[in-house]
Amino acid sequence: MVAMPALDQDVLARRAEIVAALRGIVPGEGVIDSEVGMRPYESDGLTAYRQLPMVVVLPETTEQVSRVLRYCHEHGVKVVPRGSGTSLSGGALPLGDGVLLGLSKFNRVLEIDYANRVAVVQPGVTNLGVSNAVANEGFYYAPDPSSQIACSIGGNVAENSGGVHCLKYGMTTNNILGVEMVLIDGEIVRIGGKHLDSGGYDLLALVCGSEGPLGVVTEITVRILKKPETARAVLVGFPTSEQAGDCVARIIGAGIIPGGMEMMDRPAIHAAEAFVHAGYPLDVEALLIVELDGPEAEVDHLLDRVSEIAQSCGSTVLRASTSEEERLKFWAGRKAAFPAVGRIAPDYYCMDGTIPRAKLPLVLARMRELSEQYGLQVANVFHAGDGNLHPLILYDANKADELERAEKFGADILRLCVEVGGVLTGEHGVGVEKRDLMPVMFSETDLNQQQRVKCAFDAQGLLNPGKVFPTLHRCAELGRMHVHGGNVPFPDIPRF
Amino acid sequence: MTDILKPRDEQDVAEAVARALAEEKTLEIVGQGSKRAIGRAAQTDMTLDLSKLSGIEIYEPEELILSARAGTPIAEIEKALAKNEQELAFEPMDCAPLLGGKPGRGTLGGMIAVNLSGPRRIKAGAMRDFALGVRAVSGRGEQFKAGGRVVKNVTGYDLPKFLAGSWGTLAVITQATIKVVPRGEAVETVLVLGLDDTRAVEAMSVAMGSSCEVSGAVHLPVDVARQLSIIPIASAGKSVTALRLEGIPVSIAYRKDKLQKLLAPFGELGKLGPRDSRNFWRAMRDAAPFAGETQNPVWRVSTSPSEAPRVAAAIRASAKAEIFFDWAGGLLWVRMPGKAAEEWAVRSALAGRGHALLMRADPAVRASAQVFEPLEPGMAAISKRLKESFDPKGILNPGRMYAGI
């Protein structure tokens, strides 16, 4: 387990005073300090980690967020922002000596502007809520993480969430234009707007995917798109995962970017089929779901080409959806893969590395070896188009040392991802979970530069500390320059 | 004379920056110098010329990624991509028509540093959306990396996107990985003739809000259209609103039919075939209507499309400028009639609803104007702290964007 920063006893001793001050800012039930009331906030989607916060605050206005943060800044109190609490990496894990700042009451769609194809929403609106708000006019919001019924758009910004369609339509960072954000000292800034790109530094690029340590987002301007006229999915089964991987590479190599392209391995196929009866073939080692969207003529044309490629790669099953109902059924299995795996084991641990796709056979083979070594089963679902792997490690938390073994197994998988040229996390975030693995991918210099960015926003380190970075440095220490005056060796850089 | 340093590798770059730090000298960072005339006119002690830091290191078409050293010419990258029917989706502009100089210059590092995207921005995204990974040397003389070489990655802060558009003021990019995409098999353009600015933006809004997957939407008032060398545009004798369709022919045929039906109520329709389309959209990418007469200042103004007609009218009212609209109205190219930048006319018309960049002006004019959009005090303070976090002594392209940054 990853260790969180030691509790600040001085802050805890002032708890009653802090709670009273917060009540003065957010009235009524917006401040929760009873154990039973705070219990629902003790963890997010990474349920292996639990911690009651010092106090929960649920503000309703930007002004309240600003005053809460200003108070915390002046009094040295840590703050953890939280959306819907669906993070799979512990991004919203509370701190025992910190305020848990929930944005759930920021749940309104403020403006829909079809002429400019944008919507302005509050951060507590669910991802699906954004799409639903514009569905009547045939529009939608493109990023669609599997948790879209529950996860909030504010959380999506913090985590730069993806989804099965981000191969073609991009992740959150590619689909938002502006935010209103409150800094730790209470200052309210607006970044971007309804226009494209930035006039100065691209702060939106930093905020999106930062995991909550730079500021608290209180309003978001998102791009909305017209829904494609048609979408069809095709199920393709292969005797080996190598063939499936080859097929994915050849589809993209042929210049086709499908709306979605997902892969499941045998254990995942079996679990999903048993759970939702999507009609998946059970006698294959790898299953691809390839979705093509656009005008009907284009979809039909591309479906033919994908089918030809699949057959030339040795597919043994090939079935295209012939109705919207059937297409949704194909997806139902994939979208329910996590809970489906949850049915065949008491607990599962979901990983999120990304690899260069060509390394897939190697990574799967090594994973099988690790599975034997640790004595734990693993099922794989895979955003095949962009190389984002979700191995689900099956374990039983009630058995001695199984969680620890699962964590070690997971860490080995992520090290493997980095070793083959990939990264620790494709869309779930570093959070608490992968914090201590950051040095596998980044040098101390790399990490120090990232922390200096954090310092530019929050020099006291009060916003969501203990996440993302394995070693917390004081900002003053990071800011120091180490110049060895006079004696720097640069004898032979060509000069003109 | 300014010292020019020509590093051969990243180690050389780190040493050059360390040396500048030790000697308290400032550095101008250049690739091929194609965009050197953009930005605030600032004096530096030495020039760090990255043109020798060149070459594609990894290109994997099936992974949709390309890694190259910062000084690699964009032309070399585009040539390699074209061999595999791929391209840079965001259409990096060739600054030669606007700024003078030889066409086809520009490097990967410079392309990222300025984050200027062409007409396809509205569909495919900006340059920064394709920045996946960087290696760089900070103003502290430290070599660091960020991002990765895969398209889906949230490990650590997204510094590759953040460095895009920072104009070399934060770090010297030495190597970068970008996402590349398949090129549309075919291209065609639907034209609507004779619309005024307001109707044109409405027509483009209808097109963009349809499922026709329009990948370019510009409006040229008649005074601008007349100056193009593409016959069907120049000879129309009317304003021209152009919508681009790309993809496979069977899809274009369907979408063209649908788009024409949607646009018919707006006015007389026309079209450009594949060859004229390619020339036309390249001209739009490069702001070619405002080529030549390089002493006339040109502004690049980003706003929301529905604001654009009002902003354009206000600028014309006070400065008699020529204006055309890209990005379905979201991008205004503005050419001033004389030598003055007419900054007040642009900024007061925009009134903070977007941002304006003085893309072209004589050094003397740039010295007395705010070239980049002025920042609100809160944003200015954060920007200054971010600059200091990368470059505490202010030695990298100091003052290129803002005084003190």
Q: B152, A424: Cβ pair inside 8 Å?
A: no
pLDDT the model gives residue A495: 61
**Distance of residue B61 Cα from the nearest chain A Cα, in angstroms:** 6
Domain harbouring B405, CATH code: 3.30.465.10
Q: Quick: pLDDT tens for A406-458.
A: 999 999 999 999 999 999 999 999 999 999 999 999 999 999 999 999 999 99
Instruction: Spell out which residues of chain A touch residue B166, defining contact as CB-CB under 8 Å.
Output: 201-202
> What count of Cα atoms within 13 Å lies in the side-chain half-sphere of residue B327?
30
Tens digits of residue pLDDT in A166-175: 999 999 999 9
d(CA A386, nearest CA chain B) in Å: 6
Confidence of residue A1 (pLDDT cuts 50, 70, 90): confident
Q: Which amino acid is at A112?
A: I
Question: Residue A492: inside a domain, yes or no?
Answer: no
Half-sphere exposure of B242 (CA within 13 A, CB side): 34
Q: Does residue A198 sit within a domain?
A: yes
Nearest by CB to residue A170, choosing from B3, B125, B401, is B125
Q: How far is A4 from chain B (nearest CA, A)?
A: 18
Tell me, yes or no, whether B32 and B159 share the same domain.
Answer: yes
Range(s) of the domain holding residue A161: 109-226
Best to test chain B binding among A161, A390, A483, A490 (most B CBs inside 10 Å): A490
Instruction: Looking at the structure, tell me whether residues B147 and B268 fall in a common domain.
Output: no
Average pLDDT over residues B63-86: 97
The CA-atom distances, in angstroms, between A120 and each of A203, A274, A330, B282 are 18, 41, 33, 33
> Whose CA is closest to A395, among A384, A417, A379?
A379
Chain B residue numbers with beta carbons less than 8 Å from the beta carbon of A199 are 302, 354-357, 372-373, 375
Write the single-letter amino acid at A255.
G
Query: Which residue has 């030339």 as its token pair?
Result: A312
The nearest CA of chain A is from the CA of B224 a distance in Å of 23
User: A208 — contact with chain B (CB < 8 Å)?
Assistant: yes
Q: Quick one: A84 and A21 in the same domain?
A: yes
> Are A419 and A456 members of one domain?
no
Same domain as A123, residue A49: no
CA distance B139 to A106: 40
Among chain B residues, CA nearest to A139 = B209
Average confidence (pLDDT) over B118-141:
98
Residue B79's contacts (CB-CB under 8 Å, 6 or more residues apart) are none
Specify the residue for token string 């194609």: B34
Q: How far is CA A333 from CA A168, A323, B82, in A?
A: 21, 16, 39
Residues B196 and B62 grouped into a single domain: no
- Residue ranges in A262-295 assigned as alpha helix (H): 266-276
* A195 → closest Cβ in B12, B166, B302: B302
Indicate if the pLDDT at residue A164 is higher than 90: no
A249 touches chain B (CB under 8 A): yes
What is the DSSP code (8-state) at residue A469?
Answer: -
- Kindly give, in sequence order, each residue whose CB lies less than 8 Å from that of residue A49, ignoring residues fewer than 6 positions away: A1, A2, A43, A90, A93, A432, A433
Residues B277 and B294 reside in one and the same domain = no
Q: Is the domain of B216 the same as that of B233?
A: yes
Average pLDDT, chain B: 96
Residue B128 backbone phi and psi in degrees, to 5: -60, -25
* β-strands A139-140, A176-182 pairing: unpaired
Nearest-CB residue to A486 (from B22, B126, B155): B22
pLDDT value, residue A486: 45
- Closest-CA distance of chain A to residue B378, Å: 6
Is B142 found in the same domain as B105? yes
Cα of A336 to nearest chain B Cα, Å: 22
Q: Is A442 helix (H, G, I), strand (E, B) or coil?
A: coil
Judged by phi (left if over 0) then psi (alpha if -120 to 50, else beta), residue A369 lies in: alpha
Residue B252 backbone class (left: φ over 0; alpha: ψ -120 to 50; beta: rest) = alpha
Chain B contact for A480, CB < 8 A?
no
Chain B residues touching A483 at Cβ < 8 A: 18, 21-22, 141
What domain count does chain A have?
Answer: 5
Q: Are residues A240 and A334 in the same domain?
A: yes
Does pLDDT of A398 surpass 70? yes
Domain boundary among A226, A253, A288: A226
Q: Which of B5, B39, B50, B18 is nearest to B138 (CA)?
A: B18
Q: Read off the amino acid at residue B382.
A: I
Task: Judge whether B278 and B240 are in contact, CB under 8 Å.
Answer: no
Mark which of A436, A465, A482 sits at the end of a domain: A436
Supply the DSSP symbol for B377: H
On chain A, the residues whose CB falls within 8 A of the CB of B302 are 195-197, 199
A90 and A133 in a single domain? The answer is no
**Shared domain check, B153 and B228:** no
Do B257 and B338 sit in the same domain of this protein?
no
CA gyration radius for chain B? 21
Q: Which CATH number is A35's domain given?
A: 3.30.43.10
3-state secondary structure of A114: coil
Q: Are residues A218 and A235 in the same domain?
A: no
Report, as an integer, the average pLDDT of B104-119: 98
The CATH number linked to B270 is: 3.30.70.2190
Q: Chain B residue closest to A434 (CA)?
A: B155
Q: Does A339 touch chain B (CB under 8 A)?
A: no
- E-strand ranges in A137-215 read 139-140, 176-182, 188-192
State the Cα–Cα distance between residues A202 and A191, nearest whole angstrom. 9
Q: Give B222-271 pLDDT, tens digit per residue.
A: 999 999 988 888 888 999 999 999 999 999 999 999 999 999 999 999 99
Give the pLDDT score at A471.
Answer: 86
Report how far apart, in Å, the C-alpha atoms of A118 and of each of A121, A124, B301 are: 10, 17, 19
A74-86 tens-digit pLDDT? 999 999 999 999 9
- Confidence at residue A35, expressed as pLDDT on a 0 to 100 scale: 97
Both A94 and A66 in one domain: the answer is yes
Q: Do both B12 and B122 map to the same domain?
A: yes
Q: What percent of chain B has pLDDT over 90?
A: 94
Q: Is residue A255 part of a domain?
A: yes
Nearest to B91 by CA among B51, B124, B133, B63: B124
Q: What is the mean pLDDT of residues A447-474?
A: 94
Average pLDDT value for residue range A194-201 = 96
Q: Is residue A424 part of a domain?
A: yes
Helix (H) / strand (E) containing A309: helix A296-312
| One domain for residues A420 and A464 | no
Residues 45-84 of A with CB under 8 A from B: none
- CB atoms under 10 Å from CB of B290, counted, come to 24
Model confidence band, residue A496 (pLDDT cutoffs 50, 70, 90):
low
Residue type for position A24: G
* Rounded CA separation B61/A252 (Å): 8
Among B76, B116, B109, which Cα is nearest to B93's?
A: B116
Q: Do A438 and B138 touch (CB under 8 A)?
A: no
User: What pLDDT is stored for residue A483 in this prediction?
Assistant: 54
Judge whether A481 lies within some domain. no
Distance between CA atoms of residues B143 and B148, nearest Å:
15
Pick the residue from chain A with its C-alpha nearest to B9: A493
Count how many domains chain B has. 3
A274 — pLDDT class (breaks 50, 70, 90): very high
Cα distance between residue A34 and residue A29, in whole Å: 11
**A357 and A414 in a common domain:** yes
Q: What ipTM was assigned to the predicted interfaces of this complex?
A: 0.97
Q: What is residue A106's DSSP assignment?
A: -
CB contact under 8 A, A228 and B6: no
Assign residue A386 the CATH number of its domain. 3.30.70.2740
Residue B251 near residue B201, CB atoms below 8 Å: no
Q: What is the C-alpha to C-alpha distance for residues B325 and A177, in angstroms, rounded to an integer?
A: 20
CB contact (8 A) between residue B250 and residue A428: no
A–B: how many Cβ contacts below 8 A?
303
Q: Which two tokens stand for residue B190?
A: 């639907």
Distance between A495 CA and the closest CA of chain B, angstroms: 5
A145 close to A158: Cβ distance less than 8 angstroms: no
Identify the residue whose tokens are 């509205």. Answer: B122
What was the pLDDT predicted at A485?
47
d(CA A273, CA A3): 38
How confident is residue A53, by pLDDT bands cut at 50, 70 and 90?
Answer: very high
- What is the reported pLDDT for B322? 97
Q: Residues A134, A196: one domain?
A: yes
- CA dist B111 and B94 (Å) reads 10
Residue A489: pLDDT over 70: no
Instruction: Using pLDDT thresholds of 50, 70 and 90, give the confidence band for residue A493.
Output: low
Q: What average pLDDT does the segment A363-375 reach?
A: 95
Name every residue whose Cβ is closer than 8 Å to that of residue B233 and which is 6 or more positions away in sequence. B191, B220, B225, B240, B242, B272, B280
Q: CB neighbours of A342 closer than 8 A, spacing ≥ 6? A: A348
Q: How far apart are the first and last CA of chain B?
A: 24
Element (H, E) at A359: none
Q: Which residues pair with B154 in a beta bridge?
A: none
User: A228 to chain B: which residues are within 8 Å by CB?
Assistant: 211
The number of angstroms, rounded, from the C-alpha of A414 to the middle of its chain's C-alpha atoms is 16
Domain boundary among B285, B313, B336: B285
The domain of B344 spans 288-368
Among the candidates A206, A226, A246, a domain finishes at A226
- Within a domain: residue A2? no
CA atoms within 13 A on the CB side of A146: 21
Same domain for B175 and B323? no
Residue B66 identity (one-letter amino acid):
L
- Using CA atoms, how far residue A144 sits from A125, A163, A167, A257, in Å, is 14, 5, 11, 17
Q: Which residue of B has its CA nearest to A204?
A: B162
| Total residue count of chain B as it appears in this document | 405
**Helix A324-335 / helix A266-276 crossing angle, nearest 10 deg:** 120
pLDDT attached to residue B42: 82
Domain annotation covers residue A489: no
CA distances from B231 to A343, A362, B221, B315 (A): 67, 56, 16, 29
The mean pLDDT value for B77-99 works out to 97
Mean pLDDT for A231-260 is 95
Same domain, B135 and B274: no
**pLDDT, tens digit (0-9, with 9 covering 90-100), for B155-210:** 999 999 999 999 999 999 999 999 999 999 999 999 999 999 999 999 999 999 99
A133 and A147 fall within a common domain: yes
Does residue A230 carry a pLDDT above 50?
yes
Do both A387 and A432 map to the same domain? yes
Asked if B11 and B112 sit in the same domain, the reply is yes
> What pLDDT is stored for residue A482 in this prediction?
62
pLDDT value at residue A406: 94
Number of residues in chain A: 496
**CATH (domain of A214):** 3.30.465.10
Per-residue pLDDT tens for A96-155? 999 999 999 999 999 999 999 999 999 999 999 999 999 999 999 999 998 899 999 999
